[in-house]
Amino acid sequence: MSNPEPEVPDLRSLLAEASRPSASCTVPLKQGLVERIQDAEAEMSQIADDAPSRRMGVGSPLREKAREIEAMRAEAEASSLTFHFEAPTEDAIEAARKGMNGRDDEREYDLRLTAATCTKVVGPDGVEYPTRMEWSDFRDLREKLGEPIYLATIKATSDRVFRREWSVPFSSAASHILGTVK
């Protein structure tokens, strides 16, 4: 009995499956609602502490405050955009550099690189916006959202794919499920 030779993998077909790193982040544009929601939650807590017993059929101030909070959350969610980023090609990096026209402005160059990594923007309704974001759009967004929010969301996600941080996510839940099903 002869042993069949092991199948030799096709390296080219394996290489064809390669893709650049990508990541997404969702950012509510109406950041001012965050403080209003926090204030309303504090009011709701105070209402719960101070609420006297009530009669049946009378509207609950606690329930009304909860509805108000949920309406603000829905408004914030409706203002959310999801930014999809993909590691840029060398051509895109070169185009960002050329766009600087020899100027030495680190912040503008950084915004140009962020725009180069942004491949699409999707609204809360799942509709993709056809207009590609320019570096000036990211500049304006940074100004409107504020530096801390911009850096923690959009910039952090763009940087992750720009640095090409390759990793394979580990799912302990999936591993647990697969480990117990035998």
Q: Quick one: what percent of the chain has pLDDT higher than 70?
A: 81
User: What's the whole-number average pLDDT of the chain?
Assistant: 85
Interval 11-45: pLDDT, tens = 888 788 888 889 999 999 998 898 899 999 998 88
What pLDDT sits at residue 182?
A: 41
Global pTM reads 0.74
Please state, in angstroms and rounded to a whole number, the distance separating the CA atoms of residues 105 and 51.
57
Tens-digit pLDDT profile for residues 120-145? 999 999 999 988 899 999 999 999 99
Which CATH number is 133's domain given? 3.30.2220
Residue 167 lies in a domain: no
pLDDT over 50 (residue 3):
yes
Given a cut of 80, is residue 179 above it in pLDDT?
A: no
Give the chain's domain count.
1
Structure tokens at 18: 């390669």
| pLDDT of the residue at 157 | 94
> Alpha-carbon distance 131 to 138, whole Å?
13
Confidence (pLDDT) at 181: 46
| Residue 50 or 157, more confident | 157
Q: How far apart are the C-alpha atoms of 30 and 75, rounded to whole Å?
A: 8
pLDDT at 152: 95
Reported in sequence order, the residue ranges of 106-179 that DSSP labels E, i.e. its strands, are 118-122, 128-129
- Say which residues have a Cβ less than 8 Å from residue 180's Cβ, sequence separation at least 6: none
Residue 63 lies in a domain: no
The parent domain of residue 127 ranges over: 21-29+80-162
pLDDT at 171 over 70: no
